[in-house]
Each structure stands twice: as structure tokens, then as C-alpha cells.
């Protein structure tokens, strides 16, 4: 299949950024790709930080990413709601992240408007039984259940484990008998919304990432070209036997500009 790549969906963690530092050569590669006229989107499943906080941590290590180039599950949900006039969101997420969404319409002294969407993100700082039950009742009454990601647990660098967003989503799915709509990796809807936001089709898009199970699977699900980088999770996935399947494999994102140049010249 010939690809005329115009847009790049680039994974952040393990691909351009790792443990607080830029991957070697990533800042220069990003600048070359932008100068080359590619539309860029940077993807992460992180839904516990605002867009501003994520941008700041990238810029602090020399990775220049524009606000409109960052495509998180929060941005995907905002994109979706922009097509739903009158949406009333019940957000199960931190106070900072809640500001990104229209409220469910509750005003002092008035009955709460019925939510049209229940969106579940990082809610560890705000979740209690009344809020969880309010979400349960809203979904039972017809609100759409949206998950910003489906991680079951996460582990701190010190090895401490925490229940993650996906476990809360699973509780609501179990209680309501409804399935959540996933707006994070590896859902094809997430990758499709990211590609659409560039103005190019999935067939003009390449997904670049270190994780064969999310970036690779998601990219293939929309018909995009996939580029596996051998940084980040790559070694662990090779050991686990789940790497592979990408259209192309390179040592790191630093090699992507030359790869695309070769492909461009090879394409009739
Ligand atoms: Mg990654």
C-alpha cells in the first residue's frame, strides 16, 4: 500500500519523552517534521493532568509542542462534545480537569438537570459514594458513559499501586449493564478523532509510538501507517512477545524524518 503521509500522530511517553527527559534527538526531529510541513499531533493516555501541565513538562525538556498539537483523552472528549449542542456533563474527575467540560446544569436551589454524558477520568481526589451513585443513576437514566482511559491500576516509581480509572469505569458498567465509550488509546475512535483534527485522512496519517498494543493496534484500526520506535516499552514488549506488526520499525523518533523522506521519494 502506498502512503502519502501528511499527518503524524506521535505518542509522547516512551517515544519523545521518558521519565522527565526528552528522548535523544526528539526535539530536533520534531522541529524537522514541523518544518517539513507535516501536521503534528502528540498523543498520551494521561488524563490526570491538564493540557497546560502536560505542555509545560514537555517544554521544560526542550520539546516544543503547540497547544493545538496536544491530543489527550480530555481533548478527544471536548471534540466529541463540541458536536453535541446542549450536552450536560457529569464529570468524575479532578476539579482542575472538570473546568474543561460544560457543567451538568446544577444550580443552587434548583433540581439538577439530567446529565447527557458521564465522563470518567482521574477522580481519586474527588470520588465518594454519593458521586459514584449519582453517575450510576445518570447512566441508568440514559446518559452516555464515557471513559477517558481503561487502566486497571497504576504503579508509582516507588512501587506503590493505586486503583486506576478503568476500575471505576468497570464498576459503573457492571452496575448499569452499559458499556463505556472509550476515548483513549487504543480505541479507534480516539485515533480517528486525532487524525480528523489534522484535516487529513487516516490514509494520509502515520502513527508513531513505542507500544505495539496501543499505538500499533490503534493506528492499524483506522488504516494508518504505523511506525514502531525501539525506545520506551519496546524492549519489555519484545520480551513479552507482543511487539511487532508495525509498517516500519526505527531505533527512535530521531530517525523518523529520514524514514519519511525515503518513503516520500519511493512513492510514485
Ligand atoms: Mg508510549
What is the whole-number distance in angstroms between the Cα of residue 244 and the centre of ligand 1?
14
What is the whole-number distance in angstroms between the Cα of residue 205 and the centre of ligand 1?
18
Helical (H) or strand (E) element with 147: strand 144-147
Q: How does pLDDT run across 165-224, given as a tens digit for each residue?
A: 999 999 999 999 999 999 999 999 999 999 999 999 999 999 999 999 999 999 999 999
Instruction: Tell me the pLDDT band of 107, cut-offs 50, 70 and 90.
Output: very low
What is the whole-number distance in angstroms between the Cα of residue 45 and the centre of ligand 1?
9
CB distance 6 to 38 below 8 Å: yes
Alpha helices in 158-255, H assignment, sequence order: 165-176, 188-198, 217-221, 234-240
SS (H, E, C) 12-41: CECCCEECCEECCCHHHHHHHHHHCCCEEE
What is the whole-number distance in angstroms between the Cα of residue 25 and the centre of ligand 1?
16
What percent of the chain stands above pLDDT 70? 94
What is the whole-number distance in angstroms between the Cα of residue 179 and the centre of ligand 1?
26
pTM: 0.91
Average pLDDT over residues 56-77: 95
How many CB atoms are located within 10 Å of the residue 34 CB? 16
**Does the structure show a pLDDT above 70 at 71?**
yes
Of 232, 195, 196, the closest CA to residue 212 belongs to 232
As given in the structure block, the three cell numbers for residue 39 are 501536521
What is the whole-number distance in angstroms between the Cα of residue 107 and the centre of ligand 1?
41
Q: Which residue has the higher pLDDT, 111 or 226?
A: 226
| Residues lying with their CB under 5 A of ligand 1, a single-atom ion | 11, 13-14, 210-211, 232
**Does the structure show a pLDDT above 90 at 29?**
yes
What is the whole-number distance in angstroms between the Cα of residue 12 and the centre of ligand 1?
6
What is the whole-number distance in angstroms between the Cα of residue 209 and the centre of ligand 1?
6
What is the whole-number distance in angstroms between the Cα of residue 154 and the centre of ligand 1?
15
**CA 214 – CA 71 distance, rounded (Å):** 15
What is the whole-number distance in angstroms between the Cα of residue 43 and the centre of ligand 1?
9
How many CB atoms are located within 10 Å of the residue 88 CB? 20
User: Which residues fall within 8 angstroms of residue 257, CB to CB, at 6 or more apart?
Assistant: 29, 32, 33, 36
DSSP-derived letter for residue 215 is I
What is the whole-number distance in angstroms between the Cα of residue 151 and the centre of ligand 1?
14
- In which residue are the cell numbers 527527559 written? 21
Structural domains of the chain sorted by starting position, each given as residue range(s) with its CATH number in brackets: 7-73+185-266 (3.40.50.1000), 86-182 (3.40.50.1000)
Average pLDDT over residues 232-244: 93
What is the whole-number distance in angstroms between the Cα of residue 86 and the centre of ligand 1?
35
Angle between helix axes 73-82 and 188-198 (nearest 10 degrees) is 70
- In which residue are the cell numbers 493532568 written? 49
Instruction: Tell me the pLDDT band of 155, cut-offs 50, 70 and 90.
Output: confident
What is the whole-number distance in angstroms between the Cα of residue 84 and the centre of ligand 1?
31
Amino acid at each position: 500500500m502506498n502512503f502519502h503521509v501528511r499527518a503524524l500522530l506521535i505518542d509522547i511517553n516512551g517515544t519523545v519523552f521518558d521519565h522527565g527527559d526528552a528522548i535523544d534527538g526528539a526535539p530536533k526531529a520534531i522541529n524537522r517534521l514541523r518544518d517539513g510541513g507535516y501536521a503534528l499531533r502528540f498523543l498520551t493516555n494521561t488524563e490526570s493532568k491538564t493540557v497546560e501541565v502536560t505542555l509545560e513538562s514537555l517544554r521544560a525538556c526542550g520539546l516544543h509542542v503547540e497547544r493545538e498539537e496536544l491530543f489527550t483523552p480530555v481533548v478527544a472528549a471536548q471534540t466529541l462534545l463540541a458536536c453535541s449542542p446542549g450536552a450536560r456533563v457529569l464529570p468524575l474527575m479532578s476539579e482542575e480537569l472538570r473546568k474543561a467540560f460544560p457543567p451538568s446544569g446544577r444550580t443552587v436551589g434548583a433540581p439538577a438537570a439530567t446529565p447527557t454524558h458521564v465522563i470518567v477520568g482521574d477522580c481519586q481526589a474527588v470520588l465518594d459514594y454519593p458521586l459514584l451513585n449519582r453517575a450510576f443513576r445518570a447512566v441508568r437514566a440514559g446518559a452516555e458513559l464515557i471513559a477517558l482511559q481503561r487502566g486497571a491500576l497504576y504503579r508509582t516509581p516507588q512501587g506503590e499501586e493505586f486503583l486506576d480509572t478503568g476500575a471505576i469505569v468497570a464498576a459503573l458498567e457492571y452496575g448499569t449493564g452499559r458499556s463505556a465509550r472509550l476515548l483513549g488509546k487504543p480505541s479507534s475512535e480516539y485515533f480517528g478523532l486525532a487524525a480528523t483534527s489534522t484535516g487529513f485522512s487516516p490514509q494520509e496519517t502515520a502513527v508513531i509510538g513505542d507500544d505495539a498494543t496501543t499505538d500499533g493496534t490503534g493506528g492499524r484500526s483506522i488504516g494508518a501507517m504505523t511506525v514502531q520506535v525501539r525506545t520506551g516499552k519496546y524492549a519489555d514488549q519484545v520480551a513479552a512477545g507482543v511487539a511487532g506488526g508495525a509498517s516500519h520499525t526505527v531505533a527512535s523518533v530521531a530517525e523518523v524524518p529520514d524514514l519519511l523522506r525515503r518513503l516520500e521519494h519511493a512513492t510514485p
